[in-house]
Amino acid sequence: MNTSDTITAPASGTGGAITVIRISGPRAAGIADAVWKGKRPLAGAEPRKMFLGKVGADPTLAVCMKAPASYTGDDVVELQCHGGAVAADNVLRRLLAAGCRMAEPGEFTFRAFINGKLDLAQAEAVSDIVSSGSAAAFDLAQRQLAGALSARLNGLCDRVDALRSECEARLDFPDEELDFSPDVRLAAACAAVADDAKALLATREIGRQLREGVEAVIAGRPNAGKSSLLNRLLGYDRAIVSALPGTTRDTVEARTVLADIPVILTDTAGLRESADPVEKLGVERSRRSIAASQVTFGVIDATSGSGAEALDELRRSGAKNLIAVWNKADLVPGFVPPPADLPQVTVSAATGEGMESLIEAFARIIHAGRGTGPLPDAAVNARMAGLLEQAIAALKDAENRLAAGEHELAAADLAEASRRFGETVGRTTSPDLLDAVFHKFCIGK
């Protein structure tokens, strides 16, 4: 991507009352002046102050930011026009005719990276903030944008660079006796960096859960109350509740937040043998959803005598992290489920009774995946995790080389580890790496 021309794109969705159109680059104010008419021109106007003017006949507010004190680090002008596609189109067409280029997806943030306003971990945090599905996910992304994750990744990189310098210093004095003797101290230092990298790598799972959400499925026999439970967990009626068994024939998906974790909840067709071809397809789909989910809420009708069989069916369905949810407790006062070696809760989807215990059981499963304790300050994403794994492997090689006194080979392994750590934050980059980070962004970011 060219970084010296002037680019533009809507920085807000066009569906609201106002659309923000961002212009970034050396000619931002000049090009804005070609389309915007106010009392005074924007070139030379006081930065970060709103001015009222017009683009064509449409009243439009303008604000200027002077390089490097802007989001992108370029000169930036933001125009606020009326919402809706037509108003935005009117402004954009004029800007393009006046010499702007349409920004690629993620190009504003890419410029911020190139101009040293953000590193790659922070750039990814911008994307995470916009897509965050829970308050905890939002907090994590904010901390990442503020540099919490970058600080830890840079720390690992700096330590490896220091070890590499020490290692290379040995190579400068090949005649000295020290060469080719096992270097226990440096080997141990490599292992210590690797241990810290492993600790950071262990945040991958919670990072994935917060960024992408946990897939949870509601399964069980027809009429057990699966759709009622979905609606109760969502707080609104998403699925059809009916006294007729077999009404939910397809899977119904909805997003919610349970215990601070974004959750993609799927309500399934009831598991039962059926001659009806449509219902059969639904049951088949339920089985696939169960196989793909990380947590299964297995709903059992507490009023039916066949609870044990229903539970067995759920166990046989291949459900992972099964929670037995005994429903309709309001109809069986004092109900206690038969003992079983899995988490069990008693609820009423109708009255809401027992919902806290269900959410607690869910949280316990999710927490077990990463050990107990509060959410971490920083959590790596899949891209960083892949790089950390490579760096850890290179550190292990370096450790072995040092234990054998092979400083030259160890220095090469440490250079590899440094490259991988560096790629997490963008200290070292390649076109492929930048492409992988920024192609995930959408237009205007």
Q: Return residues touching ligand GDP (CB under 6 A).
A: 222-228, 241-243, 248, 270, 327-328, 330-331, 348-350
Question: In this complex, which beta carbon is closest to ligand GDP, that of residue 119 or of residue 267?
Answer: 267
Which secondary structure element, helix H or strand E, spans residue 148, and what is its range?
helix 148-171
State phi, psi for 101 to the nearest 5 degrees. Answer: -110, 145
Q: How far is the CB of 138 from ligand GDP (least distance, A)?
A: 32
Question: In this complex, which beta carbon is closest to ligand GDP, that of residue 133 or of residue 225?
Answer: 225
Question: 182 preceded by cis ω (within 30°)?
Answer: no
Q: How far is the CB of 227 from ligand GDP (least distance, A)?
A: 3
Q: Are 180 and 405 in contact (CB under 8 A)?
A: yes
Residue 112 has, within 13 A of its CA and on its CB side, a CA count of 23
Q: How far is the CB of 248 from ligand GDP (least distance, A)?
A: 5
- The strand pair at 18-24 and 7-10 is best described as antiparallel
The closest residue (CB) to ligand GDP is 225
Nearest to 226 by CA among 257, 251, 192: 251
Side by side, the strands of the sheet bearing 344-346 are: 252-258, 261-267, 214-220, 295-301, 322-327, 344-346
Question: In this complex, which beta carbon is closest to ligand GDP, that of residue 241 or of residue 412?
Answer: 241
> Could you tell me the CA-to-CA distances from 311 to 161, 281, 290, 373 in Å, in that order?
56, 22, 14, 31
Query: How far, in Å, CA of 4 to CA of 25, rounded?
Result: 7
Q: How far is the CB of 317 from ligand GDP (least distance, A)?
A: 15
DSSP structure class, residue 295: E
Question: In this complex, which beta carbon is closest to ligand GDP, that of residue 293 or of residue 327?
Answer: 327
Q: How far is the CB of 133 from ligand GDP (least distance, A)?
A: 25
Question: In this complex, which beta carbon is closest to ligand GDP, that of residue 282 or of residue 376?
Answer: 282
Q: How far is the CB of 215 from ligand GDP (least distance, A)?
A: 19
Question: In this complex, which beta carbon is closest to ligand GDP, that of residue 10 or of residue 220?
Answer: 220
Question: In this complex, which beta carbon is closest to ligand GDP, that of residue 111 or of residue 232?
Answer: 232
Compute the radius of gyration of the chain from its Cα atoms.
29
Q: How far is the CB of 156 from ligand GDP (least distance, A)?
A: 49
